[in-house]
Amino acid sequence: MFSSGMDLAAQVAIPTIDWGEVATVLIGTPIKIVLIVLVCIASWIVLTSIINRVTKRLVEKAEADRLTLARRTQHTSDLSAVLMSQRRRARAEAIASLLRSITSAFIACIGVLLVLAQLEINITPLLASAGVIGVALGFGAQSLVKDYLSGIFLILEDQYGVGDVVDLGPVVGTVEEVTLRVTRVRDMSGVVWYVRNGEVLRVANRSQGWTLAIVDLPVAYDENLDRVKDLVEAVAEDMDQDPKYDSMLLDKPAFAGVESVSGEAVTIRVTAKAAPEQQVAVTRIIRERLKLTFDRAGIRMPVVGAGQVAAPAAPPSGATPTSSLPGPGQPPPKTYGTGPLKP
C-alpha cells in the first residue's frame, strides 16, 4: 500500500522553479528598462546642451554686430548684409527649438521601442504598421504634410520670425508664434489670425534689413531752397551725432530734393534709413524737428489742401468801401433763389 503511494507520487510531475529565470524577470527586466530610460534622458540632456551651447555662440556673435557698426555702411548691399546678420539670433533660436523638438521625438520613439523589446513584445508588426500608416497619411493628409514641410522651410530659410511685421496676403501684422503647422499673427487692429504654413504663398517681411523713412514737408513758394536745404542738413547732422538715435537711425537723413511744385508751395522730401520697425518713429521725429527748426528760422509752411479758398484781403485803412449797389448806367444785380417759391 505504501509502495503504491510512492509510485503514484513519482508518476505525478512536480514543477520545478527556476529561480534564476524568476530573478531575471522580476529584477533583470525592470533594471534594463530603468537603464534604457536613464540612457534616453541622459542622451536628451547631452544633445539639448549641445544645441543650446551652439545657439548661445551664434547669439553672442550676432549681438557683437551692433547697429552703430551698420550706420557706418554707405552702400545699401553692404548695409543689408550687416543688418541681416542681426537676425541670426532669432533664426538660431528658431532652429534650436526645431532641433530640440526633433531630438525629443526621436529619443522618445527609440526608448519606447527598446522598452517594448525588453517586455518581449514583437515590435516588427508595429514597424510594419507604422510604415502603412505613413503611406496612408502621405495620401490622405497631404495638406497636413504640406503644412509641416512648409513650416520647416519657413524656419530654416528665416523667411520670418517672432516679432516681425509681415504681409502674408490675407493679413498684415506682427508674428506672435511660429510652429511647424501654423503661424499666429496679430494684425494692426488686434485680431489674431492663424495662417496655415502650407497656404503661405508669398511673404513680405517689413522687419528684415532696413526700412526707409520718408518725410514730405511743404514750404512757401518764394522761400529760398538753398536755405531750406542747409537747415535740413543741419538737422540731419544733429540727429546723426545724437547717441539717442543710434538704435533707430542707420544713416544720416538726407535731403532728397523737391518732390512737387504747386502755385502756393514747394514740397521737399527728406529720407532716412531706419532700423526695422522704427520707420514710423523716425518719420515723426524728423517731421517734428524740421518743424521746430523752420519756425525758428522763419521758414513759412503754407496750408496745402484741395478745396481751400483764400480769404479776401481786407481793404487798406482809409480806403472807401465799395458799395454793393449798381453804379450809373449799370444793370441791377441779379438775385437767384431769393424770390418767393412758385406754386
Confidence of residue 337 (pLDDT cuts 50, 70, 90): very low
- The domain segmentation of the chain, as residue ranges, is 20-121, 211-297
The answer to whether 313 touches 280, Cβ cutoff 8 Å, is no
At residue 128, the pLDDT reads: 77
Instruction: Work out the average pLDDT over 226-249.
Output: 89
At residue 65, the pLDDT reads: 54
Confidence of residue 62 (pLDDT cuts 50, 70, 90): low
User: Cα angle at 328 between 324 and 334, to 5 degrees?
Assistant: 45
At residue 219, the pLDDT reads: 92
pLDDT per residue as tens digits for the range 173-189: 888 888 888 999 998 88
Q: Does domain 211-297 have CATH number 3.30.70.100?
A: yes
pLDDT over threshold 70, residue 82: no
pLDDT per residue as tens digits for the range 116-155: 888 878 777 777 777 777 777 667 677 888 888 888 888 7
Cα distance between residue 50 and residue 43, in whole Å:
11
The answer to whether 236 touches 253, Cβ cutoff 8 Å, is yes
Instruction: Work out the average pLDDT over 302-318.
Output: 50
DSSP string, 100-116: HHHHHHHHHHHHHHHHH
Confidence of residue 191 (pLDDT cuts 50, 70, 90): very high
pTM score: 0.51
Instruction: Work out the average pLDDT over 79-92.
Output: 61
At residue 22, the pLDDT reads: 58
Q: Could you tell me the three cell numbers for 221?
A: 513758394
Percent of the chain with pLDDT over 90: 20
Confidence of residue 334 (pLDDT cuts 50, 70, 90): very low
Instruction: Work out the average pLDDT over 15-35.
Output: 68
The answer to whether 29 touches 118, Cβ cutoff 8 Å, is yes
pLDDT over threshold 60, residue 314: no
The answer to whether 185 touches 174, Cβ cutoff 8 Å, is yes
Instruction: Work out the average pLDDT over 221-243.
Output: 91
The answer to whether 280 touches 233, Cβ cutoff 8 Å, is no
At residue 95, the pLDDT reads: 77
Looking at every residue in the chain, the average pLDDT score rounds to 76
Higher pLDDT among residues 342 and 39, named by residue: 39
Contacts of residues 19-22 at CB distance under 8 Å and 24 or more positions apart, as own/partner, are none
pLDDT per residue as tens digits for the range 90-126: 677 777 877 888 888 889 988 888 888 888 787 777 7
Cα distance between residue 228 and residue 226, in whole Å:
5
Strand order in the sheet with 254-261: 211-220, 265-274, 254-261
